[in-house]
Amino acid sequence: MRYILLNKPYEVLTQFTDEAGRQTLKDFVAVPNIYPVGRLDYDSEGLVLLTDDKQLQHRLSEPRFKVPKTYWVQVEGIPTEEALENLRRGVDLKTGYTTPAEVALLSDAPQLWERSKPVRFRANIPTSWVQIRISQGMNRQVRKMTAAVGYPTLRLVRASIADMEVGALQPGKWRELTTDEVQALREDMAAQTAAAGTFKTPNKGTEYWPGGVRPASAKSGQNSAGGYNRGGFGGQGSAKNAGSTGGRDAGRSGTFNAKPAGGKSSGNSIPGKTGSKPGPKSAGRGAGRKPGPAGGGRSGGRG
């Protein structure tokens, strides 16, 4: 098994191929059959874990296994204590609330490498650095969090994954995990797997808003994770639930396909309006019957 930590440079995709010709992981890691655990945005920098250990990769990517990640975030302006506290307790991103985060305003900028494209500089607007540690993985979450409290992100660096730190690893460089690091990672996942044995899947109507209070701006059925409750953890539903609602919830979520194998919906079909002629089998079943009156194609279609 291979376990690799890469310091992903700015403007590099967290994948191995790209039809548009942008830089990918393949330009930096020439190791076959390994895949990234999770993603890191194209315009973000820092640690990415790659492995061919499919079991570990699955567990690290599973939402209910909380793998903490620490980010160093350069923001526009100097956040107030009120803004920092808002980040700590959870931010309303309109699509849902973020989970509580560990947040600290750094007194000094971290010692980092020069970015390939310098951050824009404005003489009349100061910048500052904030350290944010989260276990959640919503799309572009950190950027949305800082923007929501009034301090847009200018630069974003993932400094650590669990207890593995970027350290002196330079952009585009990678290293193998040590035996102790791999063991610690496996033990952590084993402990979380054991704890997950007592995990109960929320009911379909369960919501995750901080304090159990759903804000007035939230849409019906929406949860604080930014998705919609569909009968399972993290929005995962079941075929049973989809069937019991007649496919209504399935149609909205895009998770379920309530169509039969033939590809046409049968729940709201109108006889005689399908636009197709009865096939040979339909004709065969009607053999021996007396011809009906004009327009009897409908009964023939059902027969």
d(CA 137, CA 145): 12
**Which pairs with CB-CB distance under 8 Å and at least 24 residues apart come from 284-287?**
none
Place of tokens 């730190």: 165
Q: What is the pLDDT of residues 101-118, one digit of tens each?
A: 999 999 999 999 999 999
Q: Do 157 and 74 share a structural domain?
A: yes
d(CA 142, CA 252): 28
CATH of the domain at 103: 3.30.70.1560
Q: Pick from 161, 188, 207: which residue ends a domain?
A: 161
Q: Do 27 and 150 share a structural domain?
A: no
The neighbour count for residue 223, using CB atoms within 10 Å, is: 22
Residue 140 is assigned to a structural domain of this protein: yes
Q: Do 48 and 26 share a structural domain?
A: yes
Name which residue leads in pLDDT, 98 or 265.
98
* Burial class, 188, CB count within 10 angstroms (exposed 0-12 / middle 13-18 / buried 19+): middle
Highest-pLDDT range among 172-176, 200-204, 205-209, 232-236: 172-176
Residue 28 is assigned to a structural domain of this protein: yes
Residue 101 is assigned to a structural domain of this protein: yes
pLDDT at res. 275: 47
Residue 222 is assigned to a structural domain of this protein: no
Residue 244 is assigned to a structural domain of this protein: no
Q: What pTM was computed for the model?
A: 0.65
**pLDDT (mean) for 259-281:** 46
* Burial class, 159, CB count within 10 angstroms (exposed 0-12 / middle 13-18 / buried 19+): buried
DSSP state of 156: E
Helices H / strands E in the chain, number of each:
8, 9
Question: Which of the four pLDDT bands, split at 50, 70 and 90, describes residue 228?
Answer: very low
CATH of the domain at 14: 3.30.70.580
Q: Pick from 146, 180, 198: which residue ends a domain?
A: 198
How many domains does one find in the chain? 2
Q: Which amino acid is at 272?
A: G
Q: Do 134 and 98 share a structural domain?
A: yes
Q: Do 149 and 2 share a structural domain?
A: no
Strand runs labelled E in 115-162: 127-134, 153-161
Q: Do 170 and 60 share a structural domain?
A: yes
Q: Do 126 and 41 share a structural domain?
A: no
Q: Do 176 and 109 share a structural domain?
A: no
Q: Do 134 and 11 share a structural domain?
A: no
Q: What is the pLDDT of residues 86-96, one digit of tens each?
A: 999 999 998 88
Q: Do 191 and 62 share a structural domain?
A: yes
Q: Do 53 and 115 share a structural domain?
A: no
Residue 187 is assigned to a structural domain of this protein: yes
pLDDT at res. 114: 94
Range of the domain at 106: 68-161
Rg for the chain (alpha carbons), in Å?
26
| Token pair belonging to 64 | 């209910």
Q: Pick from 198, 214, 244: which residue ends a domain?
A: 198
Residue 220 is assigned to a structural domain of this protein: no
Q: Do 105 and 141 share a structural domain?
A: yes
pLDDT at res. 55: 86
**Residues annotated catalytic, as ranges:** 41
Residue 132 is assigned to a structural domain of this protein: yes
- Provide the percentage of residues in the chain whose pLDDT is more than 70: 64
